[in-house]
């Protein structure tokens, strides 16, 4: 890869960089897209099926999920591109590339540095004040917030109104065409012969089980135990405590009759709206290289998205998009990594800073466990 070609593209020679990959299931043509809680029988994000039961489009991996995979790859480089972190002791730390809303996430908001709440620290005040015309603070403290998008929407109290939105520079998604919903079978044959569907067992608060007495199974007005619920002891069926035989058929998964495609777009025109003072050119190139590395690393590692959805990359192309033109460019993951490591040295990234959870956050976390 010629770094000069990419630098020229970032400066003004292209409006976007597109990465397109042809994917295929590792085995068969049935895949498991993500499922969502809906009222209807179809649990995937897809267009309405036609008379033949075929949906023209189905999401296989959403933009947010793709971004998380790219962030994980960038964290793995060990370049401290995520310098702001929250220390959870024995449970390790979470950085801005692991928090859903990145530098504006509630976890960081409810943490502190030397007793000062994040949003009141110099770092917090700087990232809150950042604007497209001078986004230097975000570049230094959380470049991922610019690359993958973020929104300062988590402020609390009278001064907590939503503030600046940072539209993502890089967008990636995996989708399939012409998919047919299928059912997932889930059967369990009890290996020790436990049978029955009655409320015949008692679950105690310590997790032990015992056979219910006749009076407990058939409560009178003055006695007996509740069937299920949160109170203990309670009556349970064998199936509720993972015993007995179960046979189920749930509408999950699709047969793919069309194509599965990975599409990633790095918007250079959006990137050029962000200025970083004397580091504007270097910062824009850094963000472009971060996006390219994240995308190519995800493709290179293989797309083991979830159980039942492992995809292989049959072919991919990287193109520079200009006015009426699409120009393929040849590059490798190793070349992008080398250029990214060099570019990191040209930007004054913030040194890693470890914040500590506030007492309120720790209490909330403990109560939720």
Does residue 222 share a domain with residue 85?
no
The predicted pLDDT at position 120 comes to 94
The predicted pLDDT at position 249 comes to 54
Domain-embedded: residue 171: yes
The predicted pLDDT at position 251 comes to 64
Domain-embedded: residue 198: yes
> C-alpha 7: how far from its chain's center?
29
Torsion of CA 190, 195, 201, 207, to 10 degrees: 0
Confidence class of residue 248 from pLDDT cuts 50, 70 and 90? low
Confidence class of residue 365 from pLDDT cuts 50, 70 and 90? confident
Average pLDDT, the chain: 89
Does residue 343 share a domain with residue 233?
no
The predicted pLDDT at position 84 comes to 98
Q: What does the chain come to in residues?
A: 369
**Residue 136 DSSP symbol:** H
Is 172 in contact with 300 (CB distance < 8 Å)?
no
Does residue 336 share a domain with residue 292?
yes
Kindly write down the DSSP assignment for every residue of 22-65, as one continuous string: EEEESSSSEE-------SSS--S-BPPP-TTS-EEEEEEE-HHH
Is 31 in contact with 310 (CB distance < 8 Å)?
no
Is residue 366 over pLDDT 80? no
Domain-embedded: residue 127: yes
For residue 196, what are the CA distances in angstroms to 113, 189, 219, 249?
Answer: 57, 13, 19, 20
Is residue 245 over pLDDT 90? no
Model pTM score? 0.84
Task: Read off the pLDDT of each residue in 293-311 and give the average, rounded to a whole number.
Answer: 94
Of 98-107, 193-202, 249-258, 291-300, the poorest mean pLDDT is in: 193-202
Does residue 244 share a domain with residue 279?
no
Task: Read off the pLDDT of each residue in 331-352 and give the average, rounded to a whole number.
Answer: 95
CA–CA separation, 100 vs 96, rounded Å?
8
Does residue 128 share a domain with residue 58?
yes
Q: Residue 6 belongs to what H/E stretch?
A: helix 3-8
Does residue 216 share a domain with residue 263?
no
> C-alpha 44: how far from its chain's center?
17
Percent of the chain beyond pLDDT 70?
90
Phi and psi based region of residue 242 (left: phi greater than 0; alpha: psi -120 to 50; beta: remaining):
left
The predicted pLDDT at position 39 comes to 64
Residue at token pair 């400066």: 11
Does residue 310 share a domain with residue 173?
yes
For the chain, the C-alpha Rg in angstroms (whole number) is 26
Does residue 172 share a domain with residue 33?
yes
Is residue 182 over pLDDT 80? yes
**Residue 50 is encoded by which pair of tokens?**
């036609």
Single out the residue in 199, 223, 250 at which a domain terminates: 250
Q: Residue 216 belongs to what H/E stretch?
A: helix 214-217
Other CB atoms closer than 10 Å to residue 171's CB: what's the count?
18
The predicted pLDDT at position 184 comes to 64
**Residue 299 is encoded by which pair of tokens?**
């493709």
Residue 241 half-sphere exposure toward CB, CA atoms < 13 A: 22
Nearest to 34 by CA among 24, 25, 21, 43: 43
CA–CA separation, 91 vs 362, rounded Å?
12
Domain-embedded: residue 213: yes
Confidence class of residue 228 from pLDDT cuts 50, 70 and 90? confident
Domain-embedded: residue 369: no
CA–CA separation, 16 vs 326, rounded Å?
10
Nearest to 329 by CA among 338, 319, 316: 319
Is 30 in contact with 307 (CB distance < 8 Å)?
no
Confidence class of residue 239 from pLDDT cuts 50, 70 and 90? confident
The predicted pLDDT at position 369 comes to 67
Tens digits of per-residue pLDDT, 121-176?
A: 999 999 999 999 999 999 999 999 999 999 998 776 656 566 789 999 999 999 99
The predicted pLDDT at position 186 comes to 59
Percent of the chain beyond pLDDT 90?
62
Is residue 9 over pLDDT 70? yes
Domain-embedded: residue 368: no
Is residue 197 over pLDDT 80? no
Does residue 163 share a domain with residue 117?
yes
Phi and psi based region of residue 235 (left: phi greater than 0; alpha: psi -120 to 50; beta: remaining):
beta
Domain-embedded: residue 272: yes
> C-alpha 314: how far from its chain's center?
24
The predicted pLDDT at position 198 comes to 79
Higher pLDDT, 299 or 362: 299
Domain containing 197 equals: 185-250
Does residue 226 share a domain with residue 191?
yes
CA–CA separation, 292 vs 279, rounded Å?
20
**Residue 90 is encoded by which pair of tokens?**
């024995």
**Total tally of structural domains belonging to the chain:** 2
Does residue 229 share a domain with residue 346?
no
CA–CA separation, 354 vs 367, rounded Å?
24
The predicted pLDDT at position 250 comes to 64
Does residue 204 share a domain with residue 318?
no
Higher pLDDT, 26 or 360: 26
Is residue 4 over pLDDT 60? yes
Domain-embedded: residue 153: yes
Single out the residue in 250, 276, 305 at which a domain terminates: 250
CA–CA separation, 13 vs 66, rounded Å?
27
CA–CA separation, 61 vs 131, rounded Å?
31
Single out the residue in 217, 250, 283 at which a domain terminates: 250
Task: Read off the pLDDT of each residue in 40-55 and give the average, rounded to a whole number.
Answer: 85
The predicted pLDDT at position 104 comes to 95
């Amino acid at each position: 890869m010629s770094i000069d070609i990419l630098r020229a593209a970032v400066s003004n020679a292209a409006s976007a960089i597109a990465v397109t990959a042809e994917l295929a299931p590792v085995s068969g043509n049935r895949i498991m897209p993500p499922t969502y809680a809906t009222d209807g029988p179809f649990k995937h994000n897809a267009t309405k099926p036609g008379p033949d039961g075929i949906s023209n489009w189905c999401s296989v991996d959403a933009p947010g999920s793709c971004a998380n995979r790219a962030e994980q790859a960038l964290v793995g480089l060990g370049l401290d591109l995520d310098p702001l972190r929250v220390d959870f002791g024995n449970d390790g730390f979470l950085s801005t590339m692991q928090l859903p809303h990145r530098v504006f996430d509630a976890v960081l908001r409810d943490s502190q540095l030397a007793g000062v709440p994040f949003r009141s620290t110099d770092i917090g005040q700087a990232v809150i004040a950042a604007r497209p015309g001078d986004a230097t603070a975000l570049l230094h403290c959380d470049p991922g917030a610019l690359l993958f998008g973020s929104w300062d929407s988590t402020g609390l109290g009278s001064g907590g109104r939503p503030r600046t939105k940072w539209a993502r520079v890089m967008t990636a998604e995996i989708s399939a065409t012409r998919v047919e919903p299928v059912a997932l079978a889930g059967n369990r044959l009890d290996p020790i012969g436990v049978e029955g569907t009655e409320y015949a067992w008692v679950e105690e608060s310590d997790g032990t089980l015992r056979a219910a007495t006749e009076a407990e199974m058939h409560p009178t007005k003055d006695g007996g135990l509740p069937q299920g619920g949160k109170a203990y002891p309670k009556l349970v069926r064998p199936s509720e405590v993972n015993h007995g035989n179960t046979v189920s058929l749930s509408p999950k998964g699709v047969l793919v009759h069309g194509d599965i495609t990975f599409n990633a777009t790095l918007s250079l025109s959006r990137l050029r709206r962000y200025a970083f003072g004397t580091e504007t050119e270097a910062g824009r190139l850094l963000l472009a290289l971060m996006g390219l590395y994240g995308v190519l690393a995800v493709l290179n590692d293989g797309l083991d998205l979830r159980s039942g959805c492992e995809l292989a990359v049959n072919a991919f192309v990287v193109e520079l998009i200009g006015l009426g033109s699409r120009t393929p460019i040849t590059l490798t993951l190793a070349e992008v990594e080398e250029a990214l490591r060099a570019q990191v040295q040209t930007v004054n990234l913030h040194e890693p800073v470890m914040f500590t959870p506030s007492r309120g956050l720790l209490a909330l976390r403990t109560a939720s466990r």
